[in-house]
Amino acid sequence: MVAAGLARVDDIPANSLQRVFRGQRISICIVEPPDKLLDAEAGHFRIVYEDPWLIVIDKPAGIVVHPVGDFQSGALTNALQQHLDSQTAARGLLRAGIVHRLDRMTSGLMVVTKEHQVHRLLSLDFPEGRLAKSYVALVEGCVPFDERTIDLPIGQHPGGRSVLMSARSDASGRRPARTKVTVLERRQRITLVECRLYTGRNHQIRVHLAEIGHPVLGDEFYGPQGAIRCMPREESAPRAASRHALHAARLGFRHPLLDAWLEFQSVPPAEFFTSTPNSGPRASELQSVD
């Protein structure tokens, strides 16, 4: 605002380097911040449900939700903007409101809003757990239990210079995290599980499964018992081309305006069951699973 000439000291335009002193009169013209409109780009995603207020999509693996770091184009929000622009007379009249995110290499269901009130109401419901959200995952090893609730706080990995998370006691900013894990099928050296989220911490499923010794198959970073396989070079460093075997399969929530419970399901794509880059078991051992 100072650089834009909107701040004055004793009725003289201020500059960002000057100091102010007792007795001086400061005036600031309050204006709306610049309105950043994302570039509309062609992209691939499947529309599961759409109405005038929100849209539920099936996100493919391999794309980020928002432009970030090295990924300044090709984001999901760029593709959504093109879809929304096709519904209005002028560009940018509708914006994609992201209520929750999926990791770049995670596929599956997401709800995105088209207007502010619905975005605000859904954003309040998600942290409070007033929804049903579950994932399917292929994990390393034969899981010994049929059902278990993992209740381990999650924070930023010790060191604070990485986007990685941790359930270690010395992780910074730890917050409660709870995941219910149910075994769906066991095959040789891998297990298909369903994970029900009761909280929404970053990388929650991946961290919890790795902490109990059964990391998600193909996970580039999280290894057994909380080990880190490798550290990202930087927050936005490109990851391996192959995906990890995690898919947002079910999503249920109450529509903020229609007051109706909506629930959706998504079957993992074919590449979910293909082999992964890690040296452990091959996901193709479970290709026959429906």
Give 102-132 pLDDT, tens digit per residue.
999 999 999 999 999 999 999 888 766 678 8
Cα(246)–Cα(243) distance, integer angstroms: 8
Q: What is the pLDDT of residue 34?
A: 67
Name the β-bridge partners of 57. 47, 110
Mean pLDDT, to the nearest integer, of 23-46?
86
Q: Is the pLDDT of residue 237 over 50?
A: no
* 240, 220 contact by CB (below 8 A): yes
Cα(203)–Cα(171) distance, integer angstroms: 14
Mean pLDDT, to the nearest integer, of 70-91?
88
Q: Tokens at residue 177, please?
A: 């995290």
Q: What is the pLDDT of residue 229?
A: 85
Mean pLDDT, to the nearest integer, of 78-92?
92
- Percent of residues, the chain, with pLDDT higher than 90: 58
- In the three-class reduction of DSSP (H, G, I as helix; E, B as strand; rest coil), residue 14 is classed as coil
Q: What is the pLDDT of residue 267?
A: 95
Q: What is the pLDDT of residue 109?
A: 97
Which are the catalytic amino acids?
Answer: 103
Mean pLDDT, to the nearest integer, of 94-107?
92
Mean pLDDT, to the nearest integer, of 135-162?
90
Q: What is the pLDDT of residue 276?
A: 53
| 30-34, 35-39, 115-119, range with greatest mean pLDDT | 115-119
Give 238-274 pLDDT, tens digit per residue.
444 578 999 999 999 999 999 999 999 999 998 888 7
Q: What is the pLDDT of residue 161?
A: 58
Q: Is the pLDDT of residue 160 over 70?
A: no
Higher-confidence residue of 35 and 92: namely 92
Q: Is the pLDDT of residue 234 over 50?
A: no
Range of weakest confidence among 40-44, 149-153, 210-214? 40-44
Cα(155)–Cα(175) distance, integer angstroms: 6
Residues 6+ apart with CB under 8 A from 248: 59, 102, 106, 107, 108, 109, 110, 133, 134, 135, 266
Q: What is the pLDDT of residue 129?
A: 67
| Domains identified in the chain and CATH numbers | 1-34 (no CATH), 35-286 (3.30.2350.10)
Task: Work out the mean pLDDT of the chain and round it to a whole number.
Answer: 87
Higher-confidence residue of 34 and 188: namely 188
- Percent of residues, the chain, with pLDDT higher than 70: 87
* 3, 16 contact by CB (below 8 A): yes
Name the β-bridge partners of 252. 132, 263
Cα(221)–Cα(201) distance, integer angstroms: 17
Residue found under tokens 């004055």: 8
Q: What share of the chain is helix, strand, coil (3-state, %, to 5)?
A: 15, 30, 55
Cα(212)–Cα(194) distance, integer angstroms: 15
DSSP 21-53: -TT--EEE---PPP---PPP-----EEEEE-SS
DSSP 54-95: EEEEEEPTT--SS-BTTB-SS-HHHHHHHHHHTTSSSTTSS-
CA dihedral (5, 9, 14, 20) positive or negative:
negative
Element at 183 (helix H, strand E): strand 178-187
Range of weakest confidence among 41-45, 75-79, 203-207? 41-45
